[in-house]
Structure 1
Amino acid sequence: MSHFKIKYLLIPLLGFFWLEGFSQAPATKTLPEIWDLAACLQYAKDNNIQVQSLKLDKQSAEQNQILAKAAVFPDLSGSASQSFNHYNLNSGNSSSINASGSYGLNSTWTLYQAGYLKMDIQQKDLAVQSANYNILQTENDITLQITQAYLSILLDKESIIYNRDLVATSIAQLEQAQRLYDAGATARKNLVQLEAQLASDQYNLTASENAERQDKITLKQLLQLPELENFDIVKPDTIVTDQIIPELSAVQEYALANRPEVKNAALQIQIADLGLGKAKAGYLPTITLSTGIGTSYANDPTYNALQQFDNNFHQQANINLSIPIFTKKRNQTNVALANIATEKAQLAYEDTKTTLSLATENAFINAQNSRNQLAAASEQLKYNEEAYRIANEELEIGEVDIVDFYQQRNLYVQALQSNIQAKYNAVLAAKIYEFYIGVPINL
């Protein structure tokens, strides 16, 4: 067959294999470019590496649980041995090969171990629960971090809006001053000051845009997202800032009864207690039952292999009692270490409750203070905004001193910044405080 024909036979085959490989290639999951808070939180729970690692820890705990439950059943093992022996006969003039073999099944069953196996199963059950609480606790921590990063971006977006408004206002004021200067109605100094103010406003706008980029990177790092060039978040139509702050006592009571870190700390006490029980079981006897069946054969001309299997078939059963008498202080040391672990678990539990109580109290104070600061900032902005409006009108007709105008403008800008900051601080503080009482975070 010519090379020409071979080439045209290979082309369809290569195309077929290419299409087959393409059809079997895994589909790449397309990620959205615009994210709301709910999508961010769900994605983090499903893909965060720390959460995924803890889920693997839970799977390991479940395997240990399976192993502990299987330990109460007897085991079963088989054995087989086959031998061949070569002999020289008649001074090496002839030789012989003898074959022999033995085969059996053996089983061991722990009948009594002072409750060790039962306590081990209970301990492994609690370890699975503890692993699940570790996942929930980490998800809670990530939820608060993502919420804070998300609100920081919203604050940046609002800062960009008012900085753009300030730039637009400065441009209009500069154009008005230029007309007055051209008409000889204002000094060159006033025009230069307006030009400087425009440059300052443009700088602030650039700074707020850079802050948004940096905070987006922070959020993407928390989500552990791949590179998304057009990553952005959804800005809610309204931000609720007048939430009712629940009573501190109710929040603390709920948190101490339901938060995963407290439940996990309580589980660690039970796990340590079971470890102490297992250590004390080392002082007591262990009873095991051993059983076995087997048979064997040898190269015997009198009986063939099948007859030997039948004649040599045997069964055995043994009950073994093991009484620890001298263990080189192993049991004593194990009990002492288990007692230490129990005390440490109790201390950790008390510390967890104290830390959580203080955290909820701190969140309560922050929620109250943030709401009060927002009320004061809103009031401050209202009066400074009106004063700045009047100063603008006076500037347009040339009846205001430029120094007084900039003083009033700076007061307005500061009040505007304080109000925006106070608004998002109030939202974040309220969300964190409500989270301790089990209210899901949403905007």
Structure 2
Amino acid sequence: MTIKKSALTLVFFALTSWMIQAQTQPWSLEKCIEYAQQNNLSLRQAQYDIRSAELNIQENKYSRLPALSAGARAGYQFGRTIDPTTNSFNNERIGFNSFSLDANAMLYGGGFINNSIKQSELNTRAARLDAEATSNNLALDVAAAYLNILLAEEQLTNAEKNLELSEEQLEQTDKLIRAGSVPANDRLDILSQIAQNERAIIEAENAVNIGYLNLKQLMQLGPEDDLKIVRPEFIELPDNANPQAVGLEEVYSAALQTQPQIRAADLRIESAQVSEAIAESGFLPTLSLFANLNSNFSSAFRSPIFETQRVPQTVFIDGSPVTIEFQSQVPVDDEQIAYTDQIDQNFGQVVGLNLNIPIYSRHTNRINKERARISKLNAEVGSVQQRQLLEADVQRAIADTRASFNSYKAAQRSVDAAEMAFDNAQKRFDLGAINTLEFATARTTLDQARIELIRSKYQYLFNLKTIDFYMGKALELNMN
């Protein structure tokens, strides 16, 4: 028993440890996107829309089947009424009961059912593409939030390094002050620089927290849920990428094939065209088959009770009267016919065809046809709008990628120049050739250049991923 308890305890702690480790395991971009797509409320609504569209398909397909219904009535009639079973007048209370079974099947409906099925199938395909578009946009939003966290964390690391350098500089300045090489007031400049570094750390930490909050909201996680993303040592930027060579026609043509909202818009045009055919069916005759089984019971439906009686009758034979007795069935009373007997005797069957030819429908059919035509025109305009919007987005993405590439290259050159200037200032400061203010200025210039390099790098990376998104490529990060 003790061994069993010990084993269970070990299993419990192992599972607990595994769950904690799973919760604190860093999340990759792909994992964040997958989790968001599984839990996002907008995507969940899109899935409900798909299910609703699928139910419309089933409903339209089932409309091909016959409709079957049953009915029953029971009650009492008072006063002078016509008995529904005997069709005779009565002044007494009559109890009645009736049953019916009706069936109806459409034989020809002008193509209404077939076109309704076709339209619901098109709408379902469009709903699936809408869900795919929502999923893609969510993935892009998650990627942006993910990169913003990486940007904020890298800037936080840079701010912490700057604080360490400022503290080292303070120690160096204190040594120079004690040696009498620099005035004591120079220490105040370094303290001011340290305060600025501490403020930069606070701002960077806040940016990290806000970034995680945005990512959690996209993933439908609570603020209290643990989330830590994979922070690479280095993010590879494609060396062979040439934004200047990326053409609008190439990206736009690929986007037309890969972006689901374009295909969804085209399907809605087809659906609207089918709506016109559905509206046309209102001008055509319909033919349906109907059948009915019915029976009823009435308490006034009675059967007479006969009695055999001898009835004398005088006849003349050879001119002489002769009395002869005849036996005759004479009704002396009546009795109610049994319930089951009435149901059996009153059982009726009806079968027939129903032809309906529309002659005048108060212009309803013409209005429906015009409404369907307008719906098709509206769908065509919507398709053009989707294409124009996509083209504008692609143009903007290409322009942003080119601009961010130029900014990134300029930031690299700025950092190279600022580093050389800072190295020179460091040497001159160590020799006492410049004061702390001039040295701090060189440091600030280098810090700002590095911050801009980090920002431009992630902006360029995100813009590259946006181009990949329109080209139909997966959103992935090359991390080392």
Which deviates the most, 150-159 or 188-197?
Answer: 188-197
1:279 matches 2:290: no
Matches within 5 A, 1:357-372: 357-372=391-406
Residue 142 of structure 2 corresponds to 146
SS at match of 2:71: strand
Matches within 5 A, 1:35-46: 35-46=27-38
Distance 1:110 1:354 in 2: 45
Residue 75 of structure 1 corresponds to 67
Shift of 1:108: 0.9
Matching residue's letter, 1:157: E
Residue 92 of structure 1 corresponds to none
Shift of 1:346: 0.3
Distance 1:179 1:99 in 2: 118
Residue 121 of structure 2 corresponds to 125
Shift of 1:203: 1.1
Q: Which residue of 315, 326, 330 maps to 2:349?
A: 315
Q: Which residue of 443, 453, 469 maps to 1:409?
A: 443
1:377 matches 2:411: yes
Relative distance call for 1:405 and 1:227 in structure 2 (3 A) is: closer
Matching residue's letter, 1:32: Q
Residue 260 of structure 2 corresponds to 260
Distance 1:139 1:230 in 2: 24
Residue 333 of structure 1 corresponds to 367
Distance 1:301 1:228 in 2: 82
Matches within 5 A, 1:347-362: 347-362=381-396
Alignment: residue pair count? 409
Matches within 5 A, 1:24-43: 32-33=23-24, 34-43=26-35
Which deviates the most, 47-56 or 391-400?
Answer: 391-400
Matches within 5 A, 1:109-258: 109-228=105-224, 230-242=226-238, 244=241, 247-258=247-258
SS at match of 1:297: strand
In the alignment, structure 2 segments of 5+ residues that lack a partner are 1-18, 80-91, 304-336
Higher strand residue share: 2
SS at match of 1:35: coil
Shift of 1:100: 3.8
Aligned partners of 2:122 and 2:271 also within 8 Å: yes
Residue 62 of structure 1 corresponds to 54
Distance 2:376 2:247 in 1: 35
Shift of 1:403: 4.0
Aligned partners of 2:182 and 2:435 also within 8 Å: no
- Cα deviation 1:216-245 (Å, max 9, x = unaligned): 111111212123354321112321212635
Matching residue's letter, 2:395: E
Structure with max Cα Rg: 2
SS at match of 2:185: helix
SS at match of 2:416: helix
Which deviates the most, 329-338 or 291-300?
Answer: 291-300
Matching residue's letter, 1:116: F
- Cα deviation 1:273-304 (Å, max 9, x = unaligned): 11122122212222221111222333444353
Distance 1:414 1:341 in 2: 56
Residue 426 of structure 1 corresponds to 460
Distance 1:358 1:85 in 2: 76
Higher helix residue share: 1
Matching residue's letter, 2:49: D
Distance 2:388 2:223 in 1: 41
Relative distance call for 1:343 and 1:194 in structure 2 (3 A) is: same
SS at match of 1:188: coil
Distance 1:308 1:403 in 2: 116
- Cα deviation 1:85-111 (Å, max 9, x = unaligned): 689xxxxxxxx9865432221111112
Shift of 1:264: 0.8
Distance 1:233 1:147 in 2: 12
1:399 matches 2:390: no
SS at match of 2:110: coil
Aligned partners of 1:240 and 1:427 also within 8 Å: no
Distance 2:225 2:385 in 1: 44
Shift of 1:84: 5.0
Shift of 1:270: 1.0
SS at match of 2:181: coil
Percent same amino acid at aligned positions?
27
Distance 1:210 1:161 in 2: 13
Distance 2:211 2:254 in 1: 33
Which deviates the most, 222-231 or 232-241?
Answer: 222-231
Distance 1:174 1:409 in 2: 13
Distance 1:258 1:318 in 2: 54
Relative distance call for 1:227 and 1:350 in structure 2 (3 A) is: same
Distance 1:242 1:76 in 2: 67
Shift of 1:397: 2.8
SS at match of 2:106: strand
Distance 1:230 1:71 in 2: 52
1:102 matches 2:129: no
Shift of 1:146: 1.1
